[in-house]
Amino acid sequence: MVKQDTILEIKQLATSFFTEEGEVKAVDGIDLKVLKGKTLGIVGESGSGKSILSLSILRLIFEPGRIVGGEINYKGEDLLKKTNRQMRSIRGNHISMIFQEPMTSLNPVYTVGEQIAESFQIHEKMNKKTALRKAVDILRLVGIPSPEKRVHQYPFELSGGMRQRVMIAIALACNPELLIADEPTTALDVTIQAQILELIKDLQKQFQMSVMIITHDLGVVAETCDEVAVMYCGKVVEYASVDQLFSAPKHPYTQGLLNSLPRHDEDQEELEAIRGTVPNPFERVEGCRFAPRCPHAIPLCFDHLPELDHVDGRHEVRCWIYTDKWEAKPEVRAE
Ligand SMILES: Nc1ncnc2c1ncn2[C@@H]1O[C@H](COP(=O)(O)OP(=O)(O)O)[C@@H](O)[C@H]1O
Ligand SMILES: [Mg+2]
């Protein structure tokens, strides 16, 4: 196998919130890799720790939250060992992030041009006039029509889709090597959503960026990603290439997510939702977090947490079914 360059390697990352009711392990020992020029998807239901994972990478976790363990190696250097000042430089020059809600991330009292230009002024020490000219170029690059006019408009004068394009423009202004997009299209309607994903894909190819897309939507994963990590309750339960994940999902949770996706190619009688709900985050659980909702769970699953382990090439799954401890019901082992 050809060795691929890893740009980001997360090891045993753990982030907790220390609240009056107790500790919430929002990110609970995560290992991940983002390869150069590739897209990694992070998928999971609301509350599974996706946003806290992405904010942890940029060290944007505040009280009562704290990164309590692990490593975040970006091009071989651990971001958890950087000073705050070094982190600001990383956020301005290497790793950019876009969020779900562009309206709350854009400043309403500055024009979009000023907000993009600010990045060029700070990081590339350009004067305002040159920076505004570059802002027009980058608005054109992200597909905003009449960028010469738009550059002087305020966020409220733009549609949701256009605002998200502006956010992408701001994120790209520093020429990042890694773009983290947290539910970048969730607030948008379906057609605009497709256009924004297409844009992210184009830009990624054009600039050989690495991208980490966070989403609760497997459709978005299928459209954009090379590899996927499925998260459940702060842990990765399955890690695979997109092809492997969609053709041979291994974890019962992933299988459930896929079963609840509408399919276009066949008559689907009824969408099967995953039964039960995400457990209470304060509850200490010894076993697999998914066991109470799992159709295959046996007593072992409730008492012991399985490791995230290789099943097939790079395909990894955290489930007893695929271990030699599993004798109960061999027929559920989807090969
Ligand atoms: N400020 C906070 N205080 C306490 N707990 C929090 C806070 N922010 C997040 N959490 C906990 O972290 C968990 C993961 O949150 P999040 O990463 O936002 O989920 P996702 O993005 O997957 O929907 C939540 O279920 C919540 O319990
Ligand atoms: Mg989130």
Instruction: Supply the pLDDT for residue 33.
Output: 95
Residues belonging to the chain: 335
CA distance 94 to 302: 42
Quick check: CB of 47 below 6 Å from ligand 1?
Answer: yes
Which of 52, 68, 215, 230 for a ligand 1 pocket mutation test, highest count of atoms within 8 Å of Cβ?
52
Burial zone of 11 (CB within 10 Å; 0-12 exposed, 13-18 middle, 19+ buried) = middle
Instruction: Supply the pLDDT for residue 190.
Output: 85
Angle formed by the axes of helices 128-141 and 160-173, nearest 10°: 120
Quick check: CB of 17 below 6 Å from ligand 1?
Answer: yes
Which of 45, 51, 214, 236 for a ligand 1 pocket mutation test, highest count of atoms within 8 Å of Cβ?
51
Instruction: Supply the pLDDT for residue 259.
Output: 86
Under 8 Å CB-to-CB from 325, ≥6 apart: which residues? 300
Instruction: Supply the pLDDT for residue 266.
Output: 58
Taking the CA of residue 183 as reference, the ligand 1 atom at the shortest distance is 21
Quick check: CB of 24 below 6 Å from ligand 1?
Answer: yes
CA distance 62 to 52: 10
Distance 121 CA to ligand 2 centre (A): 31
DSSP 192: H
Quick check: CB of 302 below 6 Å from ligand 1?
Answer: no
| pLDDT by residue, tens only, the chain of 335 residues | 456 799 999 999 999 999 999 999 999 999 999 999 999 999 999 899 999 999 999 999 999 999 999 999 999 999 999 999 999 999 988 999 998 776 567 889 999 999 999 888 887 888 999 999 999 999 999 999 999 999 999 999 999 889 989 999 998 888 899 999 999 888 888 888 888 899 999 999 999 999 999 998 998 999 999 999 999 999 999 999 999 999 999 999 999 999 877 766 555 555 566 777 777 877 778 899 999 999 999 999 999 999 999 998 889 999 999 998 887 666 666 55
Distance 114 CA to ligand 2 centre (A): 28
Instruction: Supply the pLDDT for residue 63.
Output: 95
Instruction: Supply the pLDDT for residue 331.
Output: 66
Instruction: Supply the pLDDT for residue 29.
Output: 96
| Domain extent listing, the chain | 6-94+176-332, 101-175
Distance 262 CA to ligand 2 centre (A): 22
pTM comes to 0.91
6-94+176-332: CATH architecture: 3-Layer(aba) Sandwich (3.40)
Protein residues placing their CB within 5 Å of the ion ligand 2: 50-51
Which of 13, 15, 19, 24 for a ligand 1 pocket mutation test, highest count of atoms within 8 Å of Cβ?
24
Instruction: Supply the pLDDT for residue 267.
Output: 57
Closest CA to 182 of 135, 214, 207: 214
Calculate ∠ Cα 5-10-14, nearest 5°.
175
Instruction: Supply the pLDDT for residue 124.
Output: 80
Instruction: Supply the pLDDT for residue 279.
Output: 77
Quick check: CB of 52 below 6 Å from ligand 1?
Answer: yes
- Cβ pair 301, 43 in contact under 8 A: no
Closest CA to 166 of 113, 91, 126: 113
Instruction: Supply the pLDDT for residue 59.
Output: 96
Quick check: CB of 50 below 6 Å from ligand 1?
Answer: yes
